[in-house]
Amino acid sequence: MKVGILFTGGKDSCLALKKVMKKYEVVCLITLISKNKESYMFHVPNIELTKLQAEAMGLPLLQKVTEGKKEKELEDLKRIINEAKKKFKIKGIVTGAISSNYQKSRIEKVCKELGIECINPLWGKDQIKLLEEIVENDFKVIITGIFAYPLDESFLGKKINKKMIEKLKELAEKYKINPAGEGGEIETTVLDAPFFKKRIKIKDFEIKYKNYSGIFEIRKAELEPKT
């Protein structure tokens, strides 16, 4: 079955992609760029980098801009999925949803209206185990957004590795945050993964931070060969 991936460029959509590759034929990536920095539905930090990530994977990317208005952004989602259905003959959509019923229910509704399957390979999984799976599978992932206490500027740009997972686990136990950022506490960007044909090298960046809210903005990046 041909499927499209709702792709943000973050760890969850990339891990979901890896999980479905053996079972389904992934034929396209689908990205909505929200003008609303506090979008209820869509990842925002460094979303423009999805073009480079798609090139690194060798997959076509459908990319549209949405105003990001609550509920109305679902109309934009429906339009772009329908475009993928017509252009690439997809029969299913893959999401990186883990525990957000808000996102999952709305995407499933859109898929049902379009007569295609909604596939959620990460749904209900333990967040720490998903982070460990990312590290074990040699994903290179950096934290590019933090939006909750006690996450501070020191987290921005840091790689998710075993040490970082332990730190996030401790903070989750103490402050009840979602260790994988499922509640919007953390956003990530994937620079390399097993299915990338090339990796992304950051050439320039800027950190914007204030009061436990900040982003690691990738201003310039390029693809480089894997060694």
> Taking all residues of the chain, what is their mean pLDDT, rounded to a whole number?
93
pLDDT tens for 53-74 read 999 999 999 999 887 666 677 8
* Contact predicate 141/191, CB 8 Å: yes
Nearest CA among 186, 196, 189 for reference residue 223: 196
Question: Is the link from the previous residue into 194 a cis peptide, with omega within 30 of 0?
Answer: no
pLDDT tens for 139-158 read 999 999 999 999 999 999 99
| CATH architecture of the domain formed by 2-119 | 3-Layer(aba) Sandwich (3.40)
Domain boundaries, the chain: 2-119, 127-225
Confidence of residue 38 (pLDDT cuts 50, 70, 90): low
Where on the phi/psi map is residue 161: left (φ > 0), alpha (ψ -120 to 50), or beta?
A: beta
The predicted pLDDT at position 101 comes to 86
* Contact predicate 42/65, CB 8 Å: no
Return the beta strands (E) in the chain as ranges: 2-6, 25-34, 61-66, 92-94, 117-119, 140-146, 186-192, 198-209, 214-225
Q: Rounded to whole angstroms, how far apart are CA atoms 191 and 143?
A: 11
Enumerate residues 6+ apart whose C-beta is below 8 A from 18: 137, 193, 194, 195
Q: Residue 190: what are its φ and ψ, rounded to 5°?
A: -95, 125
More confident residue, 214 or 34: 214
Q: What is the DSSP letter of 202?
A: E
pLDDT tens for 169-207 read 999 999 999 999 988 899 999 999 999 999 999 999 999
127-225: CATH homologous superfamily?
A: putative n-type atp pyrophosphatase, domain 2 (3.90.1490.10)
* Size of the chain in residues: 227
Enumerate residues 6+ apart whose C-beta is below 8 A from 208: 214, 215, 217
Q: Rounded to whole angstroms, how far apart are CA atoms 65 and 88?
A: 20
For residue 141, CA distances in Å to 3, 55, 70, 149, 192 come to: 24, 17, 29, 21, 7
Q: Is the pLDDT of residue 15 over 60?
A: yes
Which strands, in side-by-side order, build the sheet including 198-209?
186-192, 140-146, 214-225, 198-209
Q: Rounded to whole angstroms, how far apart are CA atoms 85 and 1?
A: 12
